[in-house]
């Protein structure tokens, strides 16, 4: 057991290093407000750490809309309208258009995130107290990167305790370029997505791991991971409770025969999950009431009044394709994207994992994953239809990712395809090949986004020249991205296999008995 624990610890630290390097690459490569709504979250983070949990102050933004505002140093973000100059007004421009001031006199600073839960912003906002400028923003991003890397490394650890060869590469594939971009910015959506990955990885290990792998220590550690992911998912953003419910139901439907009953008989599990879910739900409900988040003001400028037929046509022809593209490769405020063939290539990598796994799994797996996909899509569509006449199109594909990741992760948790790979001695080569493909696409996506901010949206690929320069240069982000991705390929190729006991029987999925430890 000591050797096993040492090996788990080694792969955990390697995974943590890999994900931290990948995230750091994005964190140091982009300008301020270089990711969806980052300016709003920067202002919110500074406000939270200075005790401004809510605000009654407002400001008129560049569009003429009245938005909430906090008192923050003028140096915190690019001055005036230049905070948005890279994407508005059109055409998009290099980040050299941003203008900064060293004046730390406090001014009203807008934040569309004024009513968001303070949980994420408390640790992330601390560097902004010391350095309310671009240096502080980069340091705050690195804290966000570290938090995400910790959760992702725990997810890999859960896969190892399950003994799965394919679940680690599934984790790598659901960390699309957009996910890494969000997790490396000041935006709670990134940590929310990663929390969903941890919830799925830990719960799948609890309900699907072979009996001989679920000793008492493993169950307790997986339980801690599931509680941590659940609490974060419940408290980071407002959709968290619905997303957690989707995740839990999906995992329960995929459990091995008798496993749910065996787990439920554990008093520590009932208490741990019950308490963390209760605390999370109470906080979520209490914050909604305290912050007034549910009282969303109507935006007459953006609201649309369409017939149901027009709405459904727009959703089918425009919104769903947008959701699909964004999940992999639409950045900044949607104007920056990688070519369609790169997005298609990433989905092909996912398909190369999901399709053969389902081919050798029971039919219920396919049914549950189709239902999971349908529920996530329905959630986005319902939100769009609800908010359209009040504030316009609302949903984005990234909102559903804390649950959508389960389609890939649940498929990878099956063992039929894995056994066939092992029989052909491809057990390490196949995950390595998928990971290598993801590495190439990740580095390309970062290069494309760096080029956009350095030289413009239409500039030919060249992340080393342009009118704007990252604070730490262009070479370091690309080296970090490649090193982190390459290290993660090593992890996904060898980590789980390094611990697989020789005596694990090649039983069919879902036919094992609940272990005595469970």
**Domain count within the chain:** 2
**Residue among 115, 107, 52 nearest 80 (CA):** 107
Beta bridge partners of 298: none
pTM of the model: 0.94
297 & 431 share domain: yes
More confident residue, 422 or 64: 422
Mean pLDDT of 298-309: 83
Mean pLDDT, the chain, whole residue set: 91
More confident residue, 86 or 424: 86
pLDDT at 518: 47
Report how far residue 379's alpha carbon sits from residue 232's, in angstroms, rounded to the nearest whole number.
20
The model's confidence at residue 501, banded by pLDDT at 50, 70 and 90, is: very low
Report how far residue 135's alpha carbon sits from residue 146's, in angstroms, rounded to the nearest whole number.
17
pLDDT at 506: 39
Mean pLDDT of 234-252: 96
The model's confidence at residue 512, banded by pLDDT at 50, 70 and 90, is: very low
Report how far residue 119's alpha carbon sits from residue 228's, in angstroms, rounded to the nearest whole number.
13
Q: To which residue do tokens 């993660």 refer?
A: 488
25 & 97 share domain: no
170 & 304 share domain: yes
Domain assignment of residue 514, yes or no: no
Beta bridge partners of 330: 337
**Residue 406: CA count within 13 A, CB half-sphere:** 35
Domain assignment of residue 151, yes or no: no
**Residue 417: CA count within 13 A, CB half-sphere:** 22
Domain assignment of residue 518, yes or no: no
Does residue 176 contact residue 430 with C-beta atoms inside 8 Å? Answer: no
Q: What is the pLDDT of residues 151-172, one digit of tens each?
A: 999 999 999 888 888 999 999 9
More confident residue, 400 or 289: 400
**Residue among 64, 220, 66 nearest 55 (CA):** 66
* Structure-token pair, residue 429: 């080569």
The model's confidence at residue 511, banded by pLDDT at 50, 70 and 90, is: very low
8 & 39 share domain: no
Domain assignment of residue 248, yes or no: yes
8 & 81 share domain: no
Q: What is the pLDDT of residues 372-396, one digit of tens each?
A: 999 999 999 999 999 999 888 999 9
Domain assignment of residue 507, yes or no: no
**Residue among 514, 517, 507 nearest 261 (CA):** 514
Mean pLDDT of 46-67: 89
Domain assignment of residue 156, yes or no: no
Q: To which residue do tokens 């203008």 refer?
A: 99
228 & 298 share domain: yes
268 & 399 share domain: yes
298 & 415 share domain: yes
pLDDT at 298: 76
12 & 49 share domain: no
pLDDT at 427: 81
Mean pLDDT of 38-64: 92
**Residue 126: CA count within 13 A, CB half-sphere:** 8
386 & 438 share domain: yes
pLDDT at 504: 38
Q: What is the pLDDT of residues 91-136, one digit of tens each?
A: 999 999 999 999 999 999 999 999 999 999 999 999 999 999 999 9
Is pLDDT at 516 greater than 50 in this prediction? no
pLDDT at 5: 65
305 & 363 share domain: yes
Give one DSSP letter per residue of 248-282, joined into a string: HHHHHHTPPTTHHHHHHT-HHHHHHHHHHHHHHHH
Domain assignment of residue 155, yes or no: no
pLDDT at 404: 97
Calculate the dihedral angle through the C-alpha atoms of 76, 184, 401, 87, rounding to the nearest 10 degrees: 50
268 & 340 share domain: yes
Domain assignment of residue 511, yes or no: no
Report how far residue 502's alpha carbon sits from residue 439's, in angstroms, rounded to the nearest whole number.
31
Q: What is the residue range of 480's domain?
A: 2-30+166-499
């Amino acid at each position: 057991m000591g050797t096993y624990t040492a090996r788990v610890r080694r792969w955990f630290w390697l995974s943590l290093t890999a994900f931290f390097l990948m995230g750091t690459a994005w964190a140091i490569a982009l300008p301020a407000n270089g990711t969806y709504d980052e300016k709003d979250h920067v202002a919110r983070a500074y406000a939270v750490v200075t005790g401004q949990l809510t605000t009654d102050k407002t400001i008129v933004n560049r569009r003429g809309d009245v938005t909430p505002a906090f008192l923050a140093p003028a140096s915190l973000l690019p001055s005036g309208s230049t905070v948005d100059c890279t994407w508005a007004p059109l055409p998009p421009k290099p980040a050299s258009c941003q203008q900064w001031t060293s004046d730390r006199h406090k001014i009203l600073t807008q934040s569309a995130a004024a009513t968001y839960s303070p949980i994420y912003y408390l640790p992330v906002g601390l560097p902004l107290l010391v350095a309310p400028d671009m240096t502080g923003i980069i340091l705050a991003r690195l804290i966000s990167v570290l938090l995400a890397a910790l959760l992702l490394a725990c997810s890999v650890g859960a896969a190892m305790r399950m003994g799965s060869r394919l679940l680690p590469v599934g984790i790598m594939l659901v960390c699309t370029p957009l996910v890494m971009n969000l997790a490396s910015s000041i935006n709670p959506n990134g940590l929310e997505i990663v929390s969903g990955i941890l919830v799925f990885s830990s719960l799948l290990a609890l309900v699907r791991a072979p009996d001989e792998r679920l000793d008492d220590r493993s169950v307790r550690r997986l339980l801690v991971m599931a509680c941590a992911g659940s609490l974060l998912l419940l408290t980071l953003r407002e959709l968290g409770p619905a997303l957690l419910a989707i995740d839990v139901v999906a995992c329960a439907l995929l459990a091995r025969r008798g496993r749910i009953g065996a787990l439920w008989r554990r008093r520590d599990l009932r208490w741990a999950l019950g308490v963390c879910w209760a605390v999370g739900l109470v906080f979520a409900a209490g914050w909604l009431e305290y912050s007034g988040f549910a009282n969303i003001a109507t935006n007459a400028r953006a609201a649309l009044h369409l017939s149901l037929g027009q709405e459904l046509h727009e959703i089918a022809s425009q919104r769903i394709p947008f959701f699909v593209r964004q999940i992999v490769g639409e950045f900044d405020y949607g104007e920056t994207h990688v070519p369609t063939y790169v997005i298609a290539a990433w989905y092909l990598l996912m398909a190369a994992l999901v399709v053969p796994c389902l081919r050798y799994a029971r039919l219920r797996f396919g049914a549950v994953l189709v239902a999971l996909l349908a529920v996530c899509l329905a959630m986005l569509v319902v939100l769009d239809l609800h908010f359209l006449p009040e504030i316009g199109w609302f949903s984005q594909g990234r909102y559903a990712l804390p649950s959508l990741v389960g389609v890939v992760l649940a498929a990878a948790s099956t063992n039929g395809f894995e056994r066939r790979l092992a029989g052909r001695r491809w057990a390490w080569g196949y995950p390595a090949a998928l990971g290598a493909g993801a590495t190439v696409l990740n580095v390309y996506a970062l290069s494309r986004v760096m080029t956009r901010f350095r030289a413009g949206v239409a500039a030919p690929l060249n992340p080393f020249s342009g009118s704007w320069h990252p604070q730490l240069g262009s070479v370091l982000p690309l080296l970090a991205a490649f090193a982190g991705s390459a290290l993660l390929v090593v992890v996904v190729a060898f980590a789980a296999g390094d611990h697989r006991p020789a005596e694990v029987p090649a039983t069919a999925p879902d036919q094992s008995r609940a272990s005595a430890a469970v």
